[in-house]
């Protein structure tokens, strides 16, 4: 079920991962797939912000190290 979050941003679940999209009224303009480890990293980041601490710039996981890849539509890697 696609859910509108605001500011042209939607979230959906594809049966494997959360999928964030941005839309301009004519179609999807960006697509980001949040696999489990990426979503966990995002939650960690939000928790750090809530504690008032400075986020560490070191990535939690190497992009694409999981079974799939997480990237934005139009990135050099292309769509999966």
Rounded-to-integer distance, Cα 37 and Cα 25, Å: 31
Instruction: State residue 18's pLDDT score.
Output: 97
Confidence of residue 54 (pLDDT cuts 50, 70, 90): confident
Tell if the pTM clears 0.75, that is, is over it: no
Is the separation of the CB atoms in 71 and 54 below 8 Å? no
- Is 9 exposed, middle or buried (CB count within 10 Å of its CB: 0-12, 13-18, 19+)? middle
Instruction: State residue 61's pLDDT score.
Output: 54
CB neighbours of residue 70 within 10 Å: 20
Confidence of residue 41 (pLDDT cuts 50, 70, 90): very high
């Amino acid at each position: 079920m696609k859910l509108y979050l605001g500011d042209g941003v939607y979230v959906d679940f594809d049966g494997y991962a959360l999928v964030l999209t941005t839309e301009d009224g004519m179609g999807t303009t960006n697509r980001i797939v949040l696999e489990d480890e990426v979503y966990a990293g995002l939650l960690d980041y939000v928790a750090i912000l809530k504690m008032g601490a400075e986020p560490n710039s070191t990535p939690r996981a190497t992009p694409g190290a999981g079974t799939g890849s997480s990237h934005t539509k139009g990135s050099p890697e292309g769509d999966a």
